[in-house]
């Protein structure tokens, strides 16, 4: 199936990281050309820090085009320096704003 699917995955709980990553993996395996973005804020940010047990899978997914973004407001409120994030993670000013913007752009929304 070839269609321009775009999916934003909402990650706000550290415990949901394995499920969110598995969702991303299944999406890129099942939908040719799909764009996937994982948006982390609140406790979900913890899964994207260096030393994460999910780092290898996230690197694999990033190498296959999955984007990982983290909320700058969460980083500030939790005193997490940008350097504590995995190297393929970028930041956005607000995670919830990113989620709303992506949905307004027509992206499908998943919350594991």
pLDDT tens-digit series, residues 70-105: 999 999 999 999 999 999 999 999 999 999 999 999
**Helix ranges (DSSP H) in 1-112:** 17-30, 55-63, 72-77, 95-104
Identify the pLDDT of residue 4. Answer: 85
pTM: 0.94
| pLDDT tier, 50 (very low <50, low <70, confident <90, very high otherwise) | very high
Q: Is the dihedral of CA 64, 69, 83, 78 positive or negative?
A: negative
Identify the pLDDT of residue 35. Answer: 97
In this structure, the chain runs to a length of 112
Domains assigned to the chain: 6-110 (3.40.1260.10)
């Amino acid at each position: 199936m070839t269609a321009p699917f775009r999916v934003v995955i909402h990650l706000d709980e550290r415990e949901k990281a394995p499920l969110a990553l598995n969702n991303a993996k299944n999406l890129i395996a099942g939908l040719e050309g799909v764009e996937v973005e994982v948006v982390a804020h609140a406790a979900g940010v913890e899964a994207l820090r260096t030393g994460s047990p999910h780092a290898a899978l996230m690197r694999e997914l990033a190498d296959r085009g999955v984007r990982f973004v983290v909320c700058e407001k969460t980083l500030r409120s939790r005193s997490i320096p940008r350097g504590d994030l995995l190297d393929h993670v970028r930041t956005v000013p607000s995670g919830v704003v990113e989620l709303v913007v992506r949905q307004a752009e027509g992206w499908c929304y998943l919350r594991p």
